[in-house]
A = this chain, B = another copy of it.
């Protein structure tokens, strides 16, 4: 329950934003898999803040320390455990939030759930910072998948409704920051090179697996596969993807199904999109309540906050689907024992 995802792989994520460390344990990896630390760091840096003028100036480094499961750069078969020390934390910044929850944030629900005993500083266990351990696990799965011919790439489709070049997207983020506001966006992700036959029916389909991981990224409000919500507007004659033979391989002429039929991969690219909501923490004053005094209160979030976490969420989405895909691959694509 809660912060552990268990299928064939087991991923356990722990940590609080301003606690001593965050980390993860990934259990079930095969032994002997090479892990390239530089490639992993490059991947992790994509989600780190402070990488562009558009994201928060607080730089965290986020260099994982591996505690077990790795020897001479290769997996040992034992659970892979890694931590990232929290540094440069400033809990004082968050003192006021204990009583006045941020609209749109987990402050209030965490308060109810844990009776005020949780570590609320910086969002605690609900912080976006907890996606760093997800990215460690996913970054490792990405390396393993790449050697098996699977490539996964996500990209920003729109920011606050604006589509276009990276410059246009970044300009929208700048406008939002200047307004003391925040903004959401849509991310599209594609995985190619998957063999047909991955996934299982009903509750262990690829959609279920991917969704159960992707909703582990805070701020995700929706997910759609292939044609997604557009499929609801289509007729069968338009939506159904015709099968054809391509050099002995079965393919489909279109890919409205997004590479998944009946929960199982078809061999076509696995395609999905994710909706990311705006960051809750904004400088503009917002109406809230003081839970201690039980009275109305206005809140203006000071300090360092991303106006838009969509760019940083891109590798998180890749990480989530990489874990789901490798997990399904460990389950096999239909060959008998």
Contact across chains for B278 and A109 when beta carbons are under 8 A apart: no
Q: Tell me, rounded to whole Å, the shortest Cβ–Cβ distance linking A159 to chain B.
A: 8
Q: Mark A30-47, 1 if CB is under 8 A from B, else 0.
A: 111100000000000000
**Restricting to A1-45, which residues have a CB under 8 Å from any CB of B?**
1-8, 10-16, 19-23, 25, 27-28, 30-33
Q: A25 contacts which chain B residues (CB < 8 A)? A: 4, 12, 14, 25
Q: Does A110 contact B (CB under 8 A)?
A: yes
Contact A117 B74 (CB under 8 A): yes
Q: Which residues of B contact A125 (CB under 8 A)?
A: 68, 76-79, 201-202
**C-beta contact mask, A73-117 vs B, less than 8 Å → 1, else 0?**
011111111010000000000000000011111101110111101
Which chain A residues (96-153) contact chain B, with CB distance < 8 Å? 101-106, 108-110, 112-115, 117-119, 124-126, 130, 148
A53 to chain B, nearest CB (A): 19
If the complex has contacts A68-B21, A295-B245, are A237 and B205 also in contact, measured as CB distance less than 8 A?
Answer: no
| Chain B residues, CB < 8 A from A252 | 103
Answer whether residue A171 sits at the interface, using C-beta atoms and an 8 A cutoff: no
With a cutoff of 8 Å between Cβ atoms, the chain B residues found around residue A68 in the complex are 14-16, 19-23, 125
Q: Shortest beta-carbon distance, A280 to chain B, in Å?
A: 6
**B221, A337: Cβ atoms closer than 8 Å:** no
Question: Closest Cβ of chain B: how far from A99's Cβ, in Å?
Answer: 12
Q: Which of A201-223 contact B (CB under 8 A)?
A: 201-205, 207-208, 211-213, 215-216, 218, 220-223
* B20:A287 contact, CB within 8 angstroms: no
Q: Which of B28, B130, B241, B265 contacts A1 (CB 8 A)?
A: B28
CA distance A202 to B50 in the complex (A): 24
Residue pairs across A and B with Cβ atoms less than 8 A apart, 25 shown, are A1-B10, A2-B27, A2-B202, A15-B67, A22-B68, A32-B117, A71-B117, A76-B117, A76-B119, A77-B125, A78-B125, A79-B125, A102-B240, A108-B196, A112-B197, A113-B334, A126-B262, A160-B233, A161-B233, A186-B229, A221-B232, A228-B275, A236-B284, A245-B295, A245-B296
